[in-house]
Amino acid sequence: MRLTILRHGETDWNASQRIQGQQDVPLNERGLAQAQAAAAYLQTQDFDALYSSDLRRAVDSALPVSRALNVSIQTDKNLREWKLGILEGLLRTEAAEQHPQVYEIYNQQQPDGLIPQGETIRERYQRSTQAIEALCVKHPEQQVLLVTHGGILDNWYRYVNQIPLEAPRDWVLNNAGISQFEKHQGQWSMLTWSETGHLADIGSLAFW
């Protein structure tokens, strides 16, 4: 089966480096344009199912794709971004000043560091990879499209490529980037990662 993953478009919080977590932030103007560009690119492909995180920035990114492909959106809360508790809503500079020890967990991507009122990266990894595998089991030998978040994409990249959570990240996570994977005889392989050719005239941030 073939799995395509679209990261949501840009938000004002992405642009200002405000920590989003599971806050329900809308796309900004560029994010809406990115979503439209992704839909135009993806409409040349056939998909049997479209799933999205239930957060607004993901659903709003999925809507143009849904219309272009005439495939309904099914939401799954397990595709949500990392739950970042007391850091959510703060600029990175504010988080570093107000909660220095907790911010280090976030900034250094410590796999087992618990964010108060949030979750660990390992917990995010377990919920997201299990959710994606469960969705794919429902669609054997079909093509599935997911719309989700940078943290979930980071987890899936590690999962497919068998990279430990402790390893530093040296891959990009572009807003509205498109990645493709294939499962053959029970084994995942990565076909493309964070393609942004469809965003050449729009641009895309590569951090989250």
**Mean pLDDT in residue range 90-117:** 97
Q: Does residue 93 lie within any of the structural domains?
A: yes
Percent of the residues in the chain that have a pLDDT greater than 90, as a whole number: 97
Catalytic residue among 8, 99, 149, 198: 8
Q: Does residue 204 lie within any of the structural domains?
A: no
Q: Does residue 207 lie within any of the structural domains?
A: no
> Nearest Cα to 160, choosing from 182, 124, 180, 188?
188
Q: Does residue 69 lie within any of the structural domains?
A: yes
What pLDDT digit, counting tens, does each position of 151-184 carry?
A: 999 999 999 999 999 999 999 999 999 999 999 9
Q: How confident is the model at residue 61 (pLDDT cuts 50, 70, 90)?
A: very high
pLDDT at 73 (0 to 100): 98
Q: Where are the alpha helices (DSSP H) in 44-120?
A: 56-69, 92-98, 100-107
- 81 part of the active site: yes
CA distance 202 to 148: 20
pLDDT at 205 (0 to 100): 87
Task: Evaluate if residue 207 carries a pLDDT over 70.
Answer: no
Task: Domain of residue 143: give its range.
Answer: 2-199
Catalytic residue among 81, 88, 119, 195: 81
What pLDDT digit, counting tens, does each position of 112-137 carry?
A: 999 999 999 999 999 999 999 999 99
- CATH code (residue 30): 3.40.50.1240
pLDDT at 208 (0 to 100): 57
Q: Does residue 205 lie within any of the structural domains?
A: no
Average pLDDT, the chain: 97
Task: Evaluate if residue 49 carries a pLDDT over 80.
Answer: yes
The widest CA-to-CA distance across the chain, in whole angstroms, is 50
- 8 part of the active site: yes
- State the distance between the two ends of the chain, measured CA to CA, in whole angstroms: 29
Identify the residue with better confidence: 170 or 208: 170
Q: Does residue 171 lie within any of the structural domains?
A: yes
What pLDDT digit, counting tens, does each position of 8-22 carry?
A: 999 999 999 999 999
Q: Does residue 208 lie within any of the structural domains?
A: no
In terms of DSSP bridges, do strands 73-75 and 187-195 run parallel, antiparallel, or are they unpaired?
unpaired
The total number of structural domains in the chain stands at: 1
CA distance 124 to 24: 18
* pTM value surpassing 0.85: yes
Q: Please name the residues in contact with 160: beta carbons below 8 A apart, sequence gap of 6 or more.
A: 181, 188, 189, 190
Q: Does residue 150 lie within any of the structural domains?
A: yes
Q: How confident is the model at residue 98 (pLDDT cuts 50, 70, 90)?
A: very high
pLDDT at 206 (0 to 100): 80
Ramachandran class of 187: left when φ > 0, alpha when ψ lies in -120 to 50, beta otherwise: beta
